[in-house]
Amino acid sequence: MRIVVVGASLAGVRTVEGLRRRGSDADVVLVGAEPGSAEGVAADRPPLSKAFLADPAVEARPLTDRERLGSLGVELLNGRAVDLDLDRRRVGLHGGESVAFDQLVVATGSSPRSVPELEPRPGVHLLRTAADAAAIRAATAEGNRVVVVGGGFIGAEVAWTLRQLGREVAVVEPLPTLMVRGLGPQLGAEFTRRHAEAGVELHLGAAVAEIEGAERVEAVRLTDGTRLPADVVVLGLGTVPETGWLAGAGLDLRDGVVCDGRLAAAGAEGVWAVGDVARWRHPRVGEDVRVEHWTNAVETAGVVAANLTGTPTVHDAVPYVWTDQHGARLQVFGRVRPQDELRVVVGELGGSFVALTGGDGLLRSVIGFGAVKALMPFRKLLVAGAGWDEALAAA
């Protein structure tokens, strides 16, 4: 049997490693096309908006290399997938080559959402690859004015990192608070306050109307009329799943590759999806989800490796995301819904804390900031499907 994994970022690399760890003797091929990488293999992405961005001494090392993969008996192809022929069981690559498969794992991840009216031009940056992060680091020299467009997790991390380096940073976010989609309104407001106290200039409830400067960026003009002088603009507008190469192949591509609980692609025998590109019905959440985070990439890789080696497995892990800001780790287990009740059960919002959210009689999420050990008992309750009253009683 020949298993082809398309995408050499975290989910793809962990999939091929998982196959070998579980004893697969299949012919395994990893296809990668990471921009800026000599072998097409991505670097670990979380440090790119934090330690790597802050310190030129920090290296962005590839997740694996040809030698390591060779020791696992995995063939590495440096090439970009451009189409999929399910009838002939082949992946077409840029340049006219094609790769035959018996089982296909789609691990092409996601790409930063771009806005043609805002870029490209010198001084405007997206952040996805190590090359992107290196370009931002080089551009944000002392004295340069930086505008971050987008106040989600990545935008907030970039703003915090650059502010700690003493840069003048402004964040533009159309929603009322930073990170509101991941943290909800109350916690979003708390971390917005912390950013403001750290000297990040915040423009909330406004969007970008125009980036000024014909040859390179000079300023950002907002929909409320505000003009922000800028030497560097970082666009943190979220991502879109990298599924363009799958168009016309017969897969269900509604915001990712739609899969069943095993991460098998709907309506396509022998096709699987892992990482950012996978969309599946999550049994704990009760709805279709697509999760863009390190942990989900690792977990989905493990699920597909198990299924491909004869152990039927459903992806039902509690969603988990983290971000390192304000001198500590912010962790979110589960999903924070805007309508749910929030209770702080350890500490207080102004310092380190553990908070719970609940709705419909159930514990829905556990959030901790600088409280890794204190949140673990509540995480166990969440995994066990605890009721809201039971969770509060344990506080």
Listed range (109-123, 330-344, 374-388) with the worst mean pLDDT: 109-123
Per-residue pLDDT, averaged over 127-152, amounts to: 94
Q: Judging by DSSP bridges, how do beta strands 103-106 and 271-273 pair with one another?
A: parallel
Tell me the pLDDT band of 114, cut-offs 50, 70 and 90.
Answer: confident
Q: 279 phi and psi, to 5 degrees?
A: -125, 125
| CATH 3.50.50.60 residue window(s) in the chain | 2-111+239-308, 114-235
For position 118, what pLDDT does the model report? Answer: 75
pLDDT tens digits, one per residue of 244-282 = 999 999 999 999 999 999 999 998 999 999 999 999 999
One-letter amino acid at 380 equals K
Tell me if 110 sits within 8 A of 10, measured CB to CB.
no
Give me the torsion for CA of 123, 128, 133, 136, rounded to 10°.
Answer: 10
Q: Where are the alpha helices (DSSP H) in 45-86?
A: 51-54, 66-71
For position 267, what pLDDT does the model report? Answer: 86
Contacts of 328-331 with C-beta under 8 Å, sequence gap 24+, read 328/352, 328/369, 328/370, 329/369, 329/370, 329/372, 330/191, 330/367, 330/368, 330/369, 331/367, 331/368, 331/369, 331/372, 331/375
3-state helix, strand, coil in the chain (%, to 5): 25, 30, 40
| CATH 3.30.390.30 residue window(s) in the chain | 327-393
For position 189, what pLDDT does the model report? Answer: 97
384: buried, middle or exposed (CB in 10 Å: 19+, 13-18, 0-12)? Answer: exposed
CA distance 167 to 162: 6
Question: Residue 317 to residues 296, 303, 357: CA-CA distances in angstroms?
Answer: 9, 10, 18
CA distance 120 to 229: 18
Question: Residue 305 to residues 7, 184, 299: CA-CA distances in angstroms?
Answer: 15, 34, 10
Per-residue pLDDT, averaged over 167-178, amounts to: 97
For position 116, what pLDDT does the model report? Answer: 77
For position 246, what pLDDT does the model report? Answer: 97
The conformation of residue 270, written as its DSSP 8-state character, comes to T
Output the CA torsion sign for 296, 299, 305, 306: negative
Q: Superfamily assignment of 114-235 in CATH?
A: FAD/NAD(P)-binding domain (3.50.50.60)
Tell me if 314 sits within 8 A of 281, measured CB to CB.
no
CATH number of 2-111+239-308: 3.50.50.60
Q: Is pLDDT at 123 greater than 80 in this prediction?
A: yes
Tell me if 202 sits within 8 A of 170, measured CB to CB.
yes
Angle at 102 between CA 317 and CA 4, to 5 degrees: 65
The token pair at 382 is: 């969440």
Per-residue pLDDT, averaged over 381-393, amounts to: 96
Query: 106: closest CA among 20, 34, 7?
Result: 7
DSSP letter string over 151-189?
-SHHHHHHHHHHHHTT-EEEEEESSSSTTHHHHHHHHHH
Output the average pLDDT for the chain: 95
Does domain 327-393 fall into CATH 3.30.390.30? Answer: yes
Residue reference for tokens 């990471």: 34
- Taking the chain, what is the end-to-end CA distance rounded to the nearest angstrom? 52
Per-residue pLDDT, averaged over 199-228, amounts to: 94
- With H, G, I as helix, E, B as strand and everything else as coil, classify residue 43: strand
Query: 210: closest CA among 113, 112, 121, 111?
Result: 121
DSSP letter string over 130-147?
HHHHHHHHHH--TT-EEE
Q: Supply the pTM of this predicted model.
A: 0.95
